Structure formats: structure tokens, C-alpha cells
Amino acid sequence: CMVKMIVSAKKKICIQTPYFIPDDTFMGSLKLAILSGVKVEIMIPKRIDHISVHFATLSYINDLLALGATVQIYNGFIHSKVLFIDDKILTLGSCNMDIRSGSLNFEDNVVIYNKDKVLEYKDIYNKDLLLCKQYTEVERKKKNIFVKMFISIARLFSSIL
């Protein structure tokens, strides 16, 4: 469902998630969207609860950042799992943007096609943006060699995190 939403995007995709470890199809659809001119914005937390999951998240985030995605770091912990497309469609629920939620944990989301509800959530998202700092290529490159190494190692184990 989320992949279908992503490939239908014309203008903007917004994702808010505590964990971002997408499978190949999800990641490929986001890359295709970016390369097609769709703005992709991802919000992840600054405060983390699993260091290995955070490093794996950064590995995927770095790939999308290099393609032109905007990454926002929320000052605290967010637990929202939201994806909305072009102010027209929204999905939210218990499903993280990670491999485990979709295939192992039997988590579920609701899809909302009501534009008023989508815009209502967009207002909440925009308020959360006020508590964010943009993560940039400059910041990514500043990470020390050990952090970069842990990010790469976490990517290797991402399918089991």
C-alpha cells in the first residue's frame, strides 16, 4: 500500500517515523520519486532508543540525502508512523518504515483519502517541523570514521534489526 502511494506521488512525500529501515521495493520507490522530481521529506528522531537501529536508519537516510531528499531531525523522540502524499492521501498506524514491521510484526496502518483529514495531520506535522533541525550532506560528512563504520555495519544487519 505504501509503495503504491509513493509511486503515485506528483509533488511531495512526507514521512515521519522513529525507525527507517525500508526494504528494497520501498527504498527503490522513494529513489524513483526523487529522481522524478518529487520532493521527499523524512523526519526521524534525534533521541534514539536503539543505537544499532539508528545507525541503520542513517545508512538509508544518507542514500536518500545524496539524491536530494530533505531530512529533518526531530529534537526528541517521535513515535509517529506517518506517510502522506501530495496533501491528498495519508497513512498512519503502528507500522514503522522498516522491514520487521511489514513482514514479521503484523503491524497495520489505516489509509485516509479525506483531504480535510490529510490537511489536519499536515498541520500537526508542520508543528513538529518547528522542533526539527535539517540534516545535511555537510553534517553527514562531518561524522567521524568510527561512526561512519558503525553506520555501514548496521546496514549489513538491517534485515534483522
Q: What is the rounded CA–CA span in Å between residue 75 and residue 143?
A: 19
Q: What is the rounded CA–CA span in Å between residue 63 and residue 45?
A: 18
pLDDT digits 0-9 by tens, 67-116: 999 999 999 998 888 999 998 999 988 777 766 555 556 777 889 999 99
pLDDT digits 0-9 by tens, 25-79: 999 999 999 999 999 999 999 988 778 888 888 989 999 999 999 999 999 998 8
Q: What is the rounded CA–CA span in Å between residue 77 and residue 64?
A: 21
Using DSSP, state whether 58 is helix, strand or coil: helix
Asked whether the whole model's pTM tops 0.85, one would answer yes
Which of 42, 47, 120 lies closest to 81 in space, CA to CA? 42
